[in-house]
Amino acid sequence: MWTFIHKWGSPKWFYVMSAKLQPLFWMVSLLLIVTGTVWGLAFAPADYQQGDSFRIIYVHVPAAFLAQSIFVSMALASLVFVVWKIKVADMAAKVMAPLGAVMTFVALFSGAVWGVPTWGTWWMWDARLTSMLILLFLFLGVIALRGAFASRDSGSKAASVLAMVGVINIPIIKYSVDWWFTLHQPATFTLTSRPAMPTEMWLPLLVMVLGFYCFFIALTLMRTRNEILRREINKRWVMDLFQEAR
Amino acid sequence: MLNTPAQGGLWIAFKATLKRDATLMFRRRGELLNPLVFFALVVTLFPIGISPDPVVLSLIAPGLLWVTALLAALLSLDSLFRTDYDDGSLEQLLLTPQPLAALGLAKVVAHWLFTGLPLAIVAPLLGVMLALPAGSYMVLSLSLAIGSASLSLIGAIGAALTVGIARGGVLLSLLILPLYIPVLIFGVGAVQAAINGDGIAAHLAMLGALFAASLLLAPWAIAASLRISING
């Protein structure tokens, strides 16, 4: 069991094995996102209050879920990097950050677009929008800090520390912001209780959420592979790889 | 004996670092005043920019004072480790047998004593100028005193991370300001509650909790960040 996990710490092993996993995740994510999109946009019933505008939920909620999950995954990868000095974990953390920032932006933007028909305004300082905006700043901070160091190793370590500090703060920020603004509708679905939405509405949402997660995994694998090649360019096995390809 | 010079315990090293920082601060009195002058100056800008009407000012005064004090504290953070980094004494700090987390904490305590605490003391005076409603002055000072301790602790992490970067000032604010938001929320909340006549205990307790949590966790992050900045 442990040797199996340890093998993934080797860039070469990761590169070879992720090549096999990657197509699987791409296909599943494509399938789920296409299914979820068609189902959500065309077949799910319109909301009795919001009409068709509620269908933004099928992009908004998965993006928001994913943005938060990416920060946690990034912090976990950073922890693995700091504790066990596994370089692949740092590469994964590096490639996750821009994706997380983009997802946060997608969630914010779709939220703003959704705000026009429902609240009649593009922006409202409500708890969840504000938390997401802060999350965006946290992502930007991690990206900027990594880029600010001349040496890549220092940048990696510094960004790892910041990611871990950030992940401890995210729940604190979230609850303190919730305390201050209590305007938004309650959480869309929780893991413990049944959602308030009818099944035919939230089932496509679930499909979309899973599709987004698979997309994230596939993209992270792909970008980590690129990062491995970029950093290990002088290693024997990478050179051999290029020789073969030529 | 505690005072034997040959073998310094943790407490001696802590006190020595604190004393050294305090001495250095006193030798540069101008810098000591800078955050306070900044605080007063920015507070002056608001009546000019928004309205001199006391009714308007009293509405925004709690948030305005807190945000400005927060920015003043942030402004002084960049120099927290900078001079020590430039003259090499930070490396000496790393080489001492005592844990770096404790020595970093001593520097943060010095920073709070000479920035956060004076800001908390001056704030009521500026509150008068902003027509802050009566009955909230003590709470303003108290919330600033507790809150700025957390601000110093959290901010020191960012200062330690950016000390090796030539122009880390702007980056520092990008890293730290998002983490300041909970402190700001409960700090302003306490003052607002005092104005409305609500109970302030909950807000102050939350500020205290944030302080306790950052006191527990921040020194380790500060030590790790300093090691990264110096050793690469």
Residue, of A27 and A150, whose pLDDT is higher:
A27
A141 near B CB under 8 A: yes
Which chain B residue lies closest to A150 (C-alpha atoms)?
B165
> For residue B151, is pLDDT > 60?
yes
Query: Minimal Cα–Cα distance from B29 to chain A, Å?
Result: 32
User: Residues of B141-167 as b/e, b for ≥16 C-beta within 10 angstroms?
Assistant: bbbbbbbbbbbbbbbbbbbbbbbbbee
Residue-wise pLDDT for B30-51, tens only, equals: 888 899 999 999 999 999 999 8
Query: Minimal Cα–Cα distance from B226 to chain A, Å?
Result: 10
CB contact under 8 A, A140 and B174: yes
Which chain A residue lies closest to B175 (C-alpha atoms)?
A141
Predicted pLDDT of residue B5:
52
CB contacts of B221 in chain A (<8 Å) are 161, 164-165
Longest dimension (CA), chain B: 63
Q: Chain B residues within 8 A (CB-CB) of chain A?
A: 157, 161-162, 164-165, 168, 171, 174-175, 177-179, 181-182, 185-186, 189, 206, 210, 213, 217, 221, 224-225, 228-229, 232
> For residue A133, is pLDDT > 60?
yes
Predicted pLDDT of residue B3:
53
Query: Minimal Cα–Cα distance from B35 to chain A, Å?
Result: 24
For the ranges A183-197, B65-79, B122-136, the lowest mean pLDDT is seen at A183-197
Instruction: Confirm if A71 and A170 have CB atoms less than 8 A apart.
Output: yes
CB contacts of A153 in chain B (<8 Å) are 232
A143 near B CB under 8 A: no
Taken in order of first residue, the domains within chain A and their CATH numbers are 23-245 (1.20.120)
Residue-wise pLDDT for B183-223, tens only, equals: 999 999 999 889 888 888 989 999 999 999 999 999 999 99
CB contacts of B162 in chain A (<8 Å) are 145, 148
Query: Given phi > 0 = left and psi -120 to 50 = alpha, else beta, which region is A10?
Result: beta
Instruction: Confirm if B77 and B158 have CB atoms less than 8 A apart.
Output: yes
Is 0.90 topped by the overall pTM?
Answer: no
Those residues with Cβ within 8 angstroms of residue A31's Cβ, 6 or more apart along the chain or in another chain:
A211
CB contact under 8 A, A161 and B185: no
Per-residue pLDDT averaged across A221-245, rounded? 88
ipTM for the whole complex: 0.86
Residue-wise pLDDT for A75-93, tens only, equals: 999 999 999 888 999 999 9
Q: Which of A145, A164, A168 to mutate to test the interface with B (most CBs of B within 10 A)?
A: A145
Residue-wise pLDDT for A106-115, tens only, equals: 999 998 888 8
Distance separating alpha carbons of residues A107 and A66, to the nearest angstrom: 9
Two structure tokens written together for A238: 């990478």
CB contacts of B228 in chain A (<8 Å) are 154, 157-158, 161
A179 near B CB under 8 A: yes
Give the type of residue at B50: I
**Where residue A195 falls among pLDDT bands split at 50, 70, 90?**
low
> For residue A62, is pLDDT > 70?
yes
B115 bridge partner residues: none
> For residue A28, is pLDDT > 50?
yes
CB contacts of B182 in chain A (<8 Å) are 169, 172-173, 176
Distance separating alpha carbons of residues B104 and B153, to the nearest angstrom: 10
